[in-house]
A = this chain, B = another copy of it.
Amino acid sequence: MPQAEGKEKTHIRGSVKKKSLPDAETFSKGILSGDIVLLSRAITLVESTLHSHQELAEAILEKCLPHSGKSIRVGITGIPGVGKSTFIEAFGNHLIDQGRKVAVLTIDPTSQLSRGSILGDKTRMETLSRRKEVFIRPSPSGDSLGGVARKTRETIFLCESAGFDTILVETVGVGQSETAVNSMVDVFLLLLIAGAGDELQGIKRGIMEMADMIAITKADGENIGRANRAKAETISAVHFLPAHESGIHTDVRTCSALTGEGISEIWTEIANFIKTIREKGYLEKKRKEQAKHWLHESVQSILLDDFFSKMGTDFHKAEELVTQGLAGSYQTARKLVQRYKNEDKNLSK
């Protein structure tokens, strides 16, 4: 599978003719029958910036979409050092032992800077990556977090169509990426580490508010006492946050990837959470809102991308005038948009 990926990438950079691609029908049939190589290649198409690849990817997605949506989508976040990889390794192995098929995807806003993370991911989740019931896919590269996130969301649909019933979306770093992940998962798990009493300081309040569940990691050996204190503090901090729409309170617990303590309980809790929000209709509502959100988001990004690709030079000149106080922001924007719309007419004549 990594081999196929490698070939695909060379292929994208090289000539399109070198290896002819299967058509959308072949792709989607293969994916629906659980063909991992075709799944992997389809994801590469989703990630590709080549126009012909994008068109094929769209056609594949269109065929797969009606078969997607049947998994539990779990977002997992936490600051670097919290032990996300070790947690996901222990958690993923537990899920597979329960008979589940697991896909692990990452959203990493910095991934453009640190290529070659495929090997990185394989290494850091060594026992998990060796199991055949798992599919690990690193963060796609992209110009913007929005682009990366959109591709990850489409990858979720493809993985679901290939029969994966549990999708773990890991976010790297704290900050913007959490909002993106929250707009594509069903349940959001925040990992915290016991520190010197100020463990909440590094976490933005907004992320705490997003979390459906919080787990204090590394609750083993000498660290157990500290982890329990962190748990107590977190419970009281969570107390002040607005309650989840469904009325469910944010669950806070400790766990250890080393001893396995608390790992199975986290899954039980997630399964219960999903069961409750599904029965109450919140799961369907959340997914519908996510689809709407992405439609808006996509219209906006496509429109703005087109604007900037055509008006880039004009825009930068105008920006100069505006920052020098020689022109008003709104008035300048109006003129630019008008020029863009005329431009577009001229181009398509």
Contacts and interface: CB of A to CB of B under 8 A. Distances in A.
- By DSSP majority rule, is chain A's interface helix, strand, loop, or mixed? helix
Task: Report how many copies the assembly holds.
Answer: 2
A61 interface: yes
A62 B325 contact: no
Interface in A263-316: 288, 291-292, 294-295, 297-300, 302-304, 306-307, 315
B61 A328 contact: yes
Contacts of A201: 240
A322 B61 CA distance: 13
Interface residues of A, number: 53
Interface stretch (A7-15, A132-140, A337-345): A337-345
Nearest to A298: B333
B288 A337 contact: no
Given A58-B328, A333-B302, A295 B322 contact: yes
Contacts of A307: 299, 303
A83 interface: no
A84 interface: no
Nearest to A61: B328
Nearest to A288: B323
Nearest to A203: B205
Contact of A65 (B62, B299, B326): B326
23 contacts: A58-B331, A61-B328, A62-B327, A65-B326, A65-B328, A66-B326, A154-B330, A204-B205, A291-B325, A291-B329, A292-B322, A294-B329, A295-B319, A295-B332, A297-B329, A298-B332, A298-B334, A299-B336, A299-B337, A303-B340, A306-B341, A344-B345, A345-B345
